[in-house]
Amino acid sequence: MNITRIALAATLALALPLAAQAQQAKLKVGLMLPATGTFAALGTAIENGFRLYVTEQGGKLGGREIEFVKVDDESDPSKATDNVNKLIKRDNVDVVVGTVHSGVALAMARAVKESNTLLIVPNAGADAITGPLCAPNIVRSSFSNWQPGFATGVMAAQKGYKRAMTIYWNYAAGQESAKGFTEAFEKGGGKVIKDLSLPFPNVEFQALLTEIAAQKPDVVFAFFAGAGAAKFVKDYDAAGLRKTTPLIGSGFLTDGVLEAQGPSAQGLLTALHYADGLNTPRDTAFRNKYAVSYKLQPDVYAVQGYDAAQILAAGLNAVKGDMGKRDVMLSAMRKSNIDSPRGKYTLAAAGNPVQDFYIREAKGRENLMTGIAVKVLPDPGRGCNMR
């Protein structure tokens, strides 16, 4: 550009009303998700869901075209701060969407609190994100780890089980799910006799399965997800435990992996905020569009990605795409009533969905809804002190 053209551009920019300028610039969405490792398929489903909603809106949210910048976080907490700072500082994104793994998400929450960047969490349940780390610029379209654990504990107590063992990957998601499970199960008259764990993302389950066989509990609660969950459910069956000791879990144990688990998963009961067979017009429309777009059936991760885009849209629509009106935008996001495929929900003050938890039974390739474990379950939001 020569000097006259620069001057002309500057004059034009000044002449345009601010809102019009904002509408012209693309909105940069930083997607930080796992593209490799045990959670890779979960990352893909979240991205598919997010993109589907944007496509349904004609490629624009709040009048602004969306541009994506992507980082593979590898579900590796040790790389998380560097990875999220690539999006925040190098790419200058307007909003970060991510991620699946709680340990990675905790580092992301700390980074966005420092830079005051908007963060929408489309899966990772780390309780602290809507607890001690809660902030006006952080919301979640998924769950807190406590929630599905608690709902599964309610279900297990209702079934009349008395002695339970838990087994999980030893990091925030596993620990906090087991804690939620224990809280509800023991309130309902049961007792957790032992917690078993192994480091994420290990899948050498044999010694722990031998321990379960020796202890003979009434029921086993498991937290695993993705490829690790596929292997765990098959190993549990191969060890002969499926016939003697019922296995239950938060629904991540079977979501998106039923095909890989085959007969080993049939009949498995889980609790989650999404299920197959909801048969509502909203869910059916979503499922049909998702299947046509991606030649895949949606799962809970796809729904959470779709809803992350819906929450962002609620904020952007309120300010017609002008993110300069930050307080208005954040407040619209937090107050939005999300018309989700899972059912309508709102966000609690700490930024976490207040939602129903379904009981699901694995039948064929579906986690079919058979009942409700808990209706409108809020996360307690312990330790959240919003400025």
Binding residue for ligand PHB, selected from 32, 41, 124, 269, defined by CB under 6 A: 124
Binding residue for ligand PHB, selected from 252, 274, 290, 357, defined by CB under 6 A: 252
By CB under 6 A, name the one of 100, 108, 268, 271 that touches ligand PHB. 100
**Residue 125 within binding range of ligand PHB, rule CB under 6 A:** yes
Note whether 49 and 306 are within 8 A (CB). Answer: yes
Is the CB of 19 or the CB of 296 nearer to ligand PHB? 296
The residue range among 94-102, 159-167, 211-219, 371-379 that interacts with ligand PHB, by the rule CB under 6 A, is 94-102
Binding segment toward ligand PHB, per CB under 6 A, in 117-125, 237-245, 277-285, 358-366? 117-125
144 forms part of the interface with ligand PHB (CB under 6 A):
no
Decide whether 160 or 199 has the Cβ nearer to ligand PHB: 199
Per the CB < 8 A criterion, the answer to whether 299 and 293 are in contact is no
**Residue 131 makes contact with ligand PHB by CB under 6 A:** no
The helix or strand, by DSSP H or E, that contains position 80, with its residue range, turns out to be helix 80-85
Which positions ≥6 away from 8 have C-beta within 8 Å?
none
Looking at 48, 102, 117, 130, which residue binds ligand PHB (CB under 6 A)?
Answer: 102
Burial label, 127 (beta-carbon count in 10 A; 0-12, 13-18, 19+): buried
Closest CA to 230 of 362, 98, 352, 348: 362
CA gap 78, 89 in Å, rounded: 18
Question: What residues form DSSP beta bridges with 337?
Answer: 346
- Beta-bridge mates of residue 46: none
Beta-carbon contacts of 256 under 8 Å, excluding residues fewer than 6 positions away, are 41, 42, 45, 226, 299, 300, 301
The mark string for 189-228 relative to ligand PHB (x by CB under 6 A, - otherwise) is: ------------------------------------x---
Least separation in angstroms between residue 145's CB and ligand PHB is: 6
Q: How many residues bind ligand PHB (CB under 6 A)?
A: 11
> Where on the chain is the footprint of ligand PHB (CB under 6 A)?
100-102, 123-126, 145, 173, 225, 252
